[in-house]
Amino acid sequence: MNAFIGLGANLGNARAALVSAVRALSGLPDTRFVKGSSLYASAPVDAGGPDYLNAVVLLDTALEPLALLHAMQAIENAAGRERPYLNAPRTLDLDVLLYGALELSGTDLTLPHPRMWQRAFVLLPLSEIAPERVRPEQLAAVACQRIDRVAQAAEWIAMELKKQ
Cα–Cα separations (whole angstroms), residue 116 to 15, 32, 121: 21, 23, 9
Strand partners, 149: 40
What separation in angstroms does the CA of 24 have from each of 12, 16, 75, 129, 130?
A: 18, 12, 7, 20, 22
By annotation, the residues acting in catalysis are 81, 90, 93, 95
| Listed residue (3, 14, 19) closest to 158, CA to CA | 19
- 114 vs 116: CA distance, rounded Å: 6
Cis peptide before 114 (omega within 30 of 0): no
| Identity of residue 115 | R
